[in-house]
Structure 1
Amino acid sequence: MPKAVIVGGGIGGLATAIAFARRGWEIEVLERSARIAEVGAGLSLWPNALRALDALDLGDEIRSRAREEGSAGIRDSRGRWLSRTDIDAVRARYGSPIMMHRADLLDILRAAVPESAVHTGVSVSEVRADGAVVHSAGTSAGDLVVGADGIRSVVRRAVCGVVEPRYSGYTAWRVVVTPAEPVRDIGESWGRGERFGYAVLPDGRIYCFATADMPAGTAGGGLGELRARFGSWHEPIPALLAAADESALLKHDIYDLPPLKTFVTERIALIGDAAHAMTPNLGQGGCQALEDAVVLARVAAEDRDLTDYDQQRRPRTQMIVQRSRMIGAIGQLSSPVAVLARNALLRLTPPSAQFKSLAPILDWED
């Protein structure tokens, strides 16, 4: 029985473990954290990701614990619409996008992986070309090593050498709140060098996210700063911030990866953020990791030649990285003239054009 050693127990790593196990492979998952858990964040799963989950026989369970996304779009800080997403057209052509808590997705994936296959509290220090993985609990060996260990991947060094992530120029806050009044719409609002978005989770709580231009590593940035930045924006943003708990707030600088020359060597493959970390502007980071898992398992099971995986996944994911980076740059514009021009252009762009722009991303099947 062939064996895959998977470094990283996040969404991509667990999905990869499931995909290989269902093709008859022995699996070993090495996760550096003491426990596999996610806190404080919502997650959009677009139809392309749901097709990947269907391929893992988990799509129905995922949908049962999620909420279909409703109308969405972009407003300015005063609440005036700049653009609308034609969700009905997306639903008719590709299926319904859904929203759920990341922890719920992780729980479902974790439950589908044999308990004995997952080893937590294990830090990987080196991966060798022969498939050996050196870690804090000893050494593991496999016919294939999968790097699912994030943007600062150790496994990636064995494939591409040292590759430094790129700072986007902005930081992000995330928090889940229980609103005083129900919130039904979703979407983003764009200001000058700042954005705020929110979406409804299945239990009625609201997942909020915000961005602001600032140097990497800027200290502080708690709820006081968020309320100062966004407290005068349109409703329900002030009410959501009023309901937020400081202890639940997450703040992270946003990075992505420059294009890698390859995702594979002879016995090593990269997936997810280790291969193509992207800014969150298209909601495709987790979605692409799920696609990776399905394609990698199929390719490895069919012919063991990882070149095919690289040829299928690298052009697609790098296109999405670049597109997401560009959207972030547009959304973070701060010059008054540039913002006026951006907003005018958004108002003039018909929903049909936005729908067509989604086709290369959503129209995926393995």
Structure 2
Amino acid sequence: MEVVEDIVIVGAGIAGLTTSLGLHRLGIRSLVLESADTLRTDGLAFALWTNAWKALDAIGVGHSLRHKHNKLTRLVSTSVVSGLPTAELSLEGNHEVRRINRKVLIETLRNELPQGTIRYSSKVVSIQDSGFFNTIHLADGTLLKTKVLIGCDGVNSVVAKFLGFSRPSFAGRASIRGYIACEYGHGFEPKFLQFFGNGIRYGVTPCDDHGVYWFFTYIPSPRDKGVEEDPAKMKQFVLSKLGNVSNKVRDIFEKTDLNSMIWSQLKFRRPWELLWGNISKGNVCLAGDALHPMTPDIGQGGCSALEDGVVLARVLAKAVTEKPRIGIQENAEEIKQERIKMGLEKYVKERRWRSIKLVSCAYVVGFIQQSNGIVISFLRNKVLPGFLAAMLLKMSDFDCGSLADS
């Protein structure tokens, strides 16, 4: 069976749903292909910084999400060796940071889209260039022809492979994340608590009055083999590495249910690939983790995906709605395709250097924060703590603009 669509977005994650919703707000329909049979809401939670809230406001869902998640007031960095704070930074004033439940965000974006926008159980197995169209081959045998193809299909993106990108690189670190819902409240102040030292980095942050999210990153070694396969071992491993920390913080890890933890490798796109690679080619482009997978050390993975969606919806809407000049109607399709190509190139121009900066900064900050070397540890604990904390605010000081920007 062959189906023709104007705009196809591969992946119903943050970038894909944001792009589709942005287009919908501007009166343009898109089809979102999701390989899973339901909406994927795993991932527990993540921080949304100031730039992300500007993007959420641009697509009209920021207000509803604010009411469900507490605004964080301070970022506190602490050494796991001494147990003493090394830096404290205010998150008030012009800054807005909230730890948000990923399921809530994904469902909020989905619920704003028209019924039928997302097609589930639609795994893309290959893509074929067919002139004005690209032909998408699905695992169920369906052939989709589309005038615009947007890859938002994550770190193992089929669309990125089609554009010539290699798989993201292993950053040499792994992550364990968890979430706990405290029935009678958690008692934590609205602060972003992070801890460093002995080659590890972890953090604890309240999402609302009851939910607390935590993350733990480390450098895997042969003696840690099997941790990722057994939740009980995973939990004991984390508890054994917490260091000098308060009982209140330790209790969060101890009380986390084994089914509420996720292990993953940390991967990133090498910056020079973003510099020279084809982020777009003709009527095909990338967004979100398919474009710029990065380590989580500056909290910008989900935030930058939201930025991508707003910018992409804006430039694409202008390209597909602009009327051809009088007298050249006979070449209207060719002209429209050229406008789409130019629109996607404008998107690339806006997002390439932003992506390079975020990926590079995240990698460097993570290396410094998690290094166990004597010199780096001294600099991190004595010289750079305020600088490292401030980098999170600096990277979030960005405005992707509104959907209606020219």
TM-score w.r.t. the length of structure 1 is 0.91
Per the TM alignment, residue 186 of structure 1 is displaced from its structure 2 partner at its CA by: 2.5
2:30/2:117 contact within 8 Å kept: yes
Instruction: Name the amino acid aligned to 2:227.
Output: G
Residue from 193, 204, 207 that aligns with 1:187: 193
Following TM superposition, where does structure 1 have runs of at least 4 consecutive aligned residues deviating by more than 6 angstroms? none
Aligned to 1:149: 153
The aligned counterpart of 1:315 is 353
SS at match of 2:38: coil
Q: In the alignment, is the contact (CA less than 8 A) between 2:186 and 2:210 conserved in 1? A: no
- What corresponds to 2:383 in structure 1? 345
Cα pair 2:50 2:396 within 8 Å, conserved: no
Residue in structure 2 matched with residue 139 of structure 1 by the alignment: 143
Q: 1:226 to 1:28 in 2, by over 3 A?
A: same
Which digits, 9 at most, give the CA deviation of each residue in 1:78-106, with x for residues without a partner? 43111112212xxx23x422221100001
Q: How does 1:250-329 map to 2 (within 5 A)?
A: 250-258=262-270, 259-260=273-274, 261-303=277-319, 304=340, 305=342, 306-329=344-367
Matched to 1:255, the amino acid is: K
2:177 equivalent to 1:165: no
Shift of 1:218: 4.1
Question: Distance between the aligned counterparts of 1:215 and 1:288, measured in 2?
Answer: 31
- Matched residue, 2:323: none
Distance in 1 separating the partners of 2:294 and 2:67: 28
Alignment partner of 2:150: what SS?
strand
Give 3-state SS (helix, strand or coil) of 1:143's partner.
strand
* Structure-2 residue corresponding to 1:35: 38
- The answer as to 2:241 corresponding to 1:229 is yes
Percent identity (aligned): 25
The one-letter code sitting in structure 2 at the alignment partner of 1:365 is C
Give CA deviations for 1:228-258 in whole Å, capped at 9, x if unaligned: 1126533433211221111211111111111
Say whether 1:23 aligns with 2:26. Answer: yes
Alpha-carbon offset, residue 215 of structure 1: 4.9
Q: Distance in 1 between matches of 2:294 and 2:242?
A: 25
Gaps of 5+ in 1: none
TM-fit CA distance, 1:219: 2.5
CA–CA separation in structure 2 for the residues paired with 1:236 and 1:314: 42
Amino acid at match of 1:325: Y
Contact map agreement 1:170 1:215 (CA 8 A) in 2: no
Does the CA-based 8 Å contact 2:122-2:139 persist in structure 1?
yes
Deviations 1:25-70 (A, max 9, x none): 2211110111113235212111111111111111111212221112
The residue type paired with residue 301 of structure 1 is A
Query: 5 Å matches for 1:35-114?
Result: 35-39=38-42, 41-77=44-80, 78-88=82-92, 92-93=93-94, 95-114=95-114
Per the TM alignment, residue 210 of structure 1 is displaced from its structure 2 partner at its CA by: 0.4
In structure 2, distance between residues paired with 1:223 and 1:234: 17
Q: Is the 8 A contact 1:262 1:310 kept in 2?
A: no
TM-score normalised over the length of structure 2: 0.83
Pairwise CA distance, 1:361: 3.6
- Cα distance, 1:360 vs. partner? 5.1
For the structure 1 residues 357 and 60, does the alpha-carbon distance in structure 2 shift closer, same or farther, using more than 3 Å as the test?
Answer: closer
Q: State yes or no: 1:219 paired with 2:223.
A: no
Task: Give the corresponding residue for 1:363.
Answer: 398
Q: Which residue matches 2:122?
A: 122
Unaligned runs of 5+ in 2: 229-233, 320-339, 402-406
Change (3 A) 1:144 1:75: same
Aligned to 1:4: 7
